[in-house]
Structure 1
C-alpha cells in the first residue's frame, strides 16, 4: 500500500476517533485499530496523538478554507473578501470536528488562542492577506500592511466565531452572518 494512502487512512481514522471520543480519549491504539494497521505503523508517522490530532485539525482547516475560497462573488476585492470570510466562518461553525473539539476538549484549543498560531490559522491569515492585497489594488480596502490587517481581522473573526459557537442558539446563522459582514467590511473600509 502506498505511504500516502496509509497516511490518508490514519488521518481519516483519527478524525473518526476524535468525533467519537474527543481529543482526550483518542489514542494511537484506537486510530491504528480503526485504520486496520499496526501501532508501529502509526508511531512511525506521528510521535503522539496530539501531533496526529493537530494534523487532523490542519486538514479540517484546509477543507473549510478551500470551500470558503470558492465563493462565487463579483464585485470589489473587499466584497469578495467579506463574502469569503463569512463562508469560512460558517464552515468553521458547522464543521463537526471543530465543534467536537470545542465542546468536548476546549483546552486543546487554548494553545492556539493564547500561545501560538497553528498551521490552519496561519493559512487563514495568508488567505486574508492575499484578499486584502487584491482589495487594496482595486482601491476598495484601506491602505496598510496587508499582513498586519489580515492578522487583526483573523483574530476578531476567530473570537466571534468561537463565541457564536458557544451561544449557538442565541446567535443564529443570520445574525452571525450580518455581524461578520459589518465587522469585516467596516474594518477593511477604514
Structure 2
C-alpha cells in the first residue's frame, strides 16, 4: 500500500491544529473553543476564524490529519518483501492497534464519543475515504498477481473497513479471562486473510 499522508508544510495552520489537539487532550472537545485555541496559540480569534468557522470544521481537519498520520506510520512499518495479502492484513492490524492506542482517539472515545457517530452511522469521512483508496489499490494489486480472489475491490475494501471499525471501537468489550486482545486480533487477521484468498 502506498502512503496516506496529510500536507505537512508546518504552516501556522498546522500549529493551530497542534494547539487544538492539546486543548482537546486537556479538557475534551466540548470545553474546547476557537477562542481558547486562539488564546493558547497566541493569536487573535479572527486568525483562527479565518481558517475554521467553528469547532466542528477544526475537529474534522484535526481528525483527518491525526488518522492520516496513524495510517502513514503503520505503512512505514510494513514488510515490503511480504506477499501482498500479508502486507495488506498487516497494515490493517497495525492501523487498528495504533488507533486504539492513539491518545487523541482514546480521549475522544472517553469524553466525547458522539463525535465519532456521524462517521459510523451517517457518512464516511476523508480519512475513511483515504484508507479505502489505499485498500482498493492493494486489493487490485493482489488480484493482478493472482494472490487475491476475484471480486469487486471496492466492496471488498469496504467490508474490511467495516470489520476494522468494530475492532477499533469495540474489541475491548470482548476481552476477558477467556479471550485476550491478541487472540481477537489474530482471529481478525485469519478472517481477513481467508476472505482475500483466491
Same fold (TM over 0.5): yes
Equivalence for 2:194: 186
Task: Give the deviation of 1:127 after TM superposition.
Answer: 1.2
Task: Give the deviation of 1:169 after TM superposition.
Answer: 5.8
Q: Which runs of 5+ in 1 are unaligned?
A: none
- 8 A Cα contact 1:71 1:83, kept in partner: no
The farther-off stretch of 172-181 and 95-104 is 172-181
Q: Which runs of 5+ in 2 are unaligned?
A: 1-8
Equivalence for 2:162: 155
SS of corresponding position for 2:11: helix
Aligned-partner Cα distance in 2 for 1:70–1:183: 24
* Alignment match of 1:41 (pick from 4, 27, 47): 47
Matches within 5 A, 1:81-120: 81-120=88-127
TM-score of the two chains, using structure 1 as the length reference: 0.91
- 8 A Cα contact 1:77 1:136, kept in partner: no
* Alignment match of 2:185 (pick from 163, 169, 177): 177
Equivalence for 1:21: 27
Tell me: CA distance 1:153–1:169, structure 2 relative to 1, closer, same or farther (3 Å): closer
Task: Give the deviation of 1:172 after TM superposition.
Answer: 4.7
TM-score of the two chains, using structure 2 as the length reference: 0.88
Task: Give the deviation of 1:133 after TM superposition.
Answer: 1.0
Aligned-partner Cα distance in 1 for 2:20–2:78: 32
Task: Give the deviation of 1:119 after TM superposition.
Answer: 0.5
Aligned-partner Cα distance in 2 for 1:19–1:172: 28
- C-alpha distance after superposition, 1:29-58 (max 9, x if no partner): 111111111100000100000110111100
Task: Give the deviation of 1:64 after TM superposition.
Answer: 0.8
Whichever structure has more helix as a proportion of its residues is 1
- C-alpha distance after superposition, 1:60-103 (max 9, x if no partner): 11101101112332332111101111111111111111111111
Runs ≥4 in structure 1, deviation > 2 angstroms? 166-173
SS of corresponding position for 1:33: helix
SS of corresponding position for 2:50: helix
Aligned-partner Cα distance in 1 for 2:126–2:195: 24
SS of corresponding position for 1:97: helix
Q: How many pairs does the alignment contain? A: 187
